[in-house]
Chain A
């Protein structure tokens, strides 16, 4: 019997290797969020001052939609050759699988954000007025909030009839506080008008609450029959 963490690491390594070889999800996400950026630039064409106020919303909407692309693939990949059924009968702890999947998605979405953030800066001529380093905790905590619930709800939506359609319908309502925290936090850092500490605490609370809930209930969702 292998330990919890070695199973987590093995699954994570497998997912990363698969993604590294195919680059399916990453390419789709990158191109998708690039399209969103371009469409937003055409439709708003803001001045530098205005763009500071709206770009927080745009950037997170783009990442949210792009993340759904990756999240949908998480479990769909395991349906081929009944891998998911094999997981269910194996003695490996369900949470090891869930953590591996969440961390894999987290790394993927973080990579996307790191690649796309400069594009936003260029297209919108942004200059950060607040403490820029605070964007990092907001981004990390916000991404984890999206990804941990997203991975969980993707495992739920895979059991429904129209899988790809279900995920955003389940994920977006529950993610509203997190999205609110990310958008308001990013905006307040970009404009430098108010401190972002409150939003970082909010995101941290959200992450702790929902990570606990996901870990407590994932077994039920995986074995639901």
Chain B
């Protein structure tokens, strides 16, 4: 890590600078919106990064809960495999295909669903045991930061283009806001809970949050959305030069997010190691006391509160 990290940091910086140059000077000006549209080069990549991080958080949380028992682990594994198979096949069946919203390609739906088993097994392989929980904290924190950027840049763009800061009842706006609220409450729970049980409670909350977002989406789906259609995998059309710049920006943001996640992950691991060492040390001191005849009670397990 010591060597690779600064190299990656420099590369990310160069990529971010290049992406900024592309977004500000190279990308053509929008015919209708003028230069104000350029904020999408920050808005959209942040949104994609935030959703990706929350998705990783959800997968890590499910895996953390499932890994508590061998039977749970097995069941979760098979459920994930079945989801992957159904998700990869179902969108191409004509009956299901008709149900998809207009402009959504079956292949993009299948790819999205296939990401569930792929991420599940990758995360399970590279983040065993407690690392799953460390990954969950990391992605939630960084995800909230990126989601905040989305929620700030959105209104800045909407004010000149729509004439309003915020469109209440809009699908995308509301579901992103709810997602942000859920993950803020997730971080609050982590902050306020004692160390011994935080991980499980937080993982449970992450599962509830993930169940909630489709319901929010469903609850307002029939309202007219003001938000522009998705650029990739949807029916929206975009100048290829703009799309190119957008993808460069996304790459830069992904590298940036990866960099922050990496350092946050290492920090959290270190914090836990220190905590563990301190606990062991105090336990050892208590052990010395216990060896003496007038022994004080050693707290072998942490209390419920």
Which chain A residues have a beta carbon within 8 Å of chain B's beta carbons?
84-85, 149, 156, 159-162, 165-166, 169-170, 172-174, 176-177, 180-181, 198, 202, 205-206, 209-210, 213, 217, 220-221, 224-225
Contact = CB atoms under 8 A, between A and B. Distances in A.
B194 interface: yes
Interface residues of B, number: 32
Contact of A224 (B182, B201, B212): B201
A162 B65 contact: no
A170 B205 contact: yes
B215 interface: yes
A160 B305 CA distance: 8
Given A176-B216, A213-B207, 13 more contacts: A156-B189, A156-B204, A160-B189, A166-B192, A170-B189, A174-B208, A177-B178, A177-B218, A181-B219, A198-B222, A202-B215, A205-B218, A220-B200
Nearest to A221: B204
A180 B177 CA distance: 14
A221 B304 contact: no
Contacts of B33: none
Main secondary structure of the interface of A (DSSP, over half): helix
Contacts, number: 92
A213 B218 contact: no
Contacts of B189: 156, 160, 166, 169-170
Given A160-B194, A173-B185, A213-B211, A225 B304 contact: yes
Contacts of B201: 156, 159-160, 221, 224
B197 interface: yes
Contact of B211 (A161, A169, A170, A209): A209
Interface in B210-262: 211-212, 215-216, 218-220, 222
A202 B218 contact: yes
Main secondary structure of the interface of B (DSSP, over half): helix
20 contacts: A156-B201, A160-B193, A160-B194, A162-B192, A173-B178, A173-B209, A174-B212, A176-B212, A177-B215, A180-B219, A180-B220, A181-B219, A198-B222, A210-B211, A217-B207, A220-B68, A220-B200, A221-B200, A221-B204, A225-B196
Contact of B215 (A160, A209, A224): A209
Which 8 A/B pairs are nearest by Cβ-Cβ distance?
A173-B181, A224-B197, A224-B200, A177-B215, A160-B192, A173-B182, A160-B193, A177-B219
Contact of A225 (B178, B182, B197): B197
A85 B211 CA distance: 30
Interface of B: 65, 68, 178, 181-182, 184-185, 188-189, 192-194, 196-197, 200-201, 204-205, 207-209, 211-212, 215-216, 218-220, 222, 301, 304-305
A176 B181 contact: yes
Nearest to B205: A170
Contacts of B178: 173, 176-177
A177 B216 contact: yes
A123 B111 CA distance: 55
